[in-house]
Amino acid sequence: MIDINNITLSYGDKPVLQDFALNFESNRLSCLLGGSGCGKTTILRLIAGIETPEKGTIVIDNKIVTKDGQILIPPHKRNIGFIFQDLALWPHFTVYKNIAFGLIERKEKNIKETVLKMLDFFGIQEQAEKYPHQLSGGQKQLVAISRSLVLKPKILLMDEPLANLDVKLKRKILEHIRNLKQSRTLGIDLTIIYVTHDHKEAFAIADKVVVMDEGKIEETGTVEQIKKSENRFVQYFLEY
């Protein structure tokens, strides 16, 4: 589904990824797990097409989307959703407009119906006319997820979206995310890549976990496999 081949990328003089390779299977929820600065967010940005590598290719659905410093297919033609760490809700739009904006610009039909259905699914229909700064942290989270899903992406990239939430809310939203995969109510098949530094979060939802450190993969596998890993870094990382 998504193949990352021999990617090299640096910020200024600082190399982030070197000859990095990784692939994700479709309709699975994969977690990229690692400490800050390990390159996990960069991988999401590369897949999305808002970061250009110096070398290497990225293939989505057998199509080369990025090759050696060139974006061959721009972000919006990749059929992806991206949930940013800061959520990036447009502060000057209402909740409704935040979700509808992409649909309007794509000149879709039945926009209102689609948006309301999405709001309903996440139980935030009452917030429709509010502005982002009037929402609680969890509600913002749900708006950001709705905004991405409403465009029916095949891939959903999530960059530590739950970092600042309390445990209860986190659980509720993780539940939502897990349901999403199987959800037919929204009529989408989803490949989710979820970036986090919190192994509990990862273990709660992941089909597959990739543990990273300093731009390198330390271990990949199912939750069970990771838990039993012999890798020193993985063991150390899971202790905390």
Nearer to other proteins, 81 or 215 (CB): 81
Nearer to other proteins, 92 or 168 (CB): 92
3-state secondary structure the chain: CEEEEEEEEEECCEEEEEEEEEEECCCCEEEEEECCCCCHHHHHHHHHCCCCCCEEEEEECCEEEEECCEECCCHHHCCEEEECCCCCCCCCCCHHHHHHHHHHHCCCCCHHHHHHHHHHHHCCHHHCCCCHHHCCHHHHHHHHHHHHHCCCCCEEEEECCCCCCCHHHHHHHHHHHHHHHHCCCCCCCCEEEEEECCHHHHHHHCCEEEEEECCEEEEEECHHHHHCCCCHHHHHHHHC
The reply to whether 109 sits near other proteins by the rule CB under 8 A is no
Q: Which of residues 117-136 bind other proteins (CB under 8 A)?
A: 131-134
Nearer to other proteins, 44 or 209 (CB): 44
- Count the Cβ atoms, other than its own, within 10 Å of residue 110: 10
Which stretch in 28-36, 44-52, 58-66, 207-215 sits in contact with other proteins by CB under 8 A? Answer: 44-52
Nearer to other proteins, 86 or 166 (CB): 86
Find all residues with CB under 8 Å of 227, minimum gap 6, and list them: 203, 238
Nearer to other proteins, 76 or 112 (CB): 76
Give the x-and-dash track for 50-69 against other proteins (CB under 8 A): x-x-----------------
Nearer to other proteins, 161 or 199 (CB): 161
The reply to whether 91 sits near other proteins by the rule CB under 8 A is yes
The whole-angstrom separation of Cα 113 and Cα 91 is 23
Give the x-and-dash track for 66-85 against other proteins (CB under 8 A): ---------xxx--xxx-xx
Which residue in 59, 64, 88, 116 binds other proteins (CB under 8 A)? 88
Nearer to other proteins, 13 or 105 (CB): 105
Smallest separation, CB 80 to other proteins (Å): 6
Q: Which of residues 146-175 bind other proteins (CB under 8 A)?
A: 147, 151
List interacting residues with other proteins (CB under 8 A).
48-50, 52, 75-77, 80-82, 84-88, 90-92, 101-102, 105-106, 131-134, 147, 151
